[in-house]
Amino acid sequence: MSVEVTNRGAFGSALVMLQPGEEFVSEAGAMYRASGNMDIDVKTRKREGGGLWGALKEGAKAMFAGESFFLSTYRVKDNSPGEVGLAPILQGEVSSLEVGSETWICAGGSFMGASGGVKLDTQYQGLKKGMFSGEGLVYVRASGQGELLVSAYGRISEVEVRGGITIDNGHIVAFTEGLEYDIGKAGGWIASALSGEGLVMKFRGNGRILVQSHDRDRLGGALGPLLPPREG
């Protein structure tokens, strides 16, 4: 199996080449091209427990929050190699991360795909709950061994924690497990409401953090009102 990540201009994509017997998983909507011998198996993701995501309606909401309700599994049908092309929904870069010595936590909407040996926990509840947890704080935990593909809205860069770094929630792509963090507001209630800043995560300790240059919610907030209203 090999994965080729291409980031050309503003648009990233990944081409996954599979040998017979190998498996790759992705967000169901991520596939944009595939060789004729690719078997694509779409299945629902099991939602155990109640909590926020129990009902189908909540599942649909999760999907719109960036976490697909469906995962696709790719395998070749015959005995020759095959390829599947994966891309995110919005414009932005794609990065490949190694899972093994590091366990990664991906923000909602950032998870794009993973090789067969990666264990995905798509209902990761381990995130500390701040006052506003739940809404918009959908995370996927990737452990095990293999390759993880993440996508961003914008450009991906890695930042250093140093004395402490505060990251607006809409700009988090992924971070390694083990980092300490708090969830809150950038400047306190009123200042944040007025300055338009949303939820932030304050990180401390050791680990790696990947951020994205732009925030999907700001695009949605700008574009949504310009479109015709929808039915419910």
Question: For residues 93-152, which are near other proteins according to CB under 8 A?
Answer: none
E-only strand ranges, 36-136:
38-44, 70-76, 82-86, 94-99, 104-107, 111-115, 118-121
192 is a contact residue toward other proteins (CB under 8 A): yes
Reading phi first (left if > 0) and then psi (alpha if -120 to 50, else beta), residue 218 is in alpha
Among 25, 28, 76, 199, the residue binding other proteins under the rule CB under 8 A is: 28
The total of other beta-carbon atoms located within 10 Å of residue 195's CB is 9
The minimum distance between CB 95 and other proteins, in angstroms, equals 14
Distance spanning both ends of the chain, measured CA to CA = 44
CB 164 within 8 A of CB 203: yes
Please give the residues from 149 up to 188 whose contact with other proteins meets the rule CB under 8 A: 153-155, 157, 159, 162-168, 170-171, 186-187
Residues between 202 and 231 with contacts to other proteins, criterion CB under 8 A: 202-204, 211, 213-215, 218-231
Using CB under 8 A as the binding rule, whether residue 89 contacts other proteins is answered as yes
Residue 41 makes contact with other proteins by CB under 8 A: yes
The window from 16-24, 113-121, 131-139, 193-201 that contacts other proteins (CB under 8 A) reads 193-201
Backbone angles phi, psi at 102, to 5 degrees: -120, 140
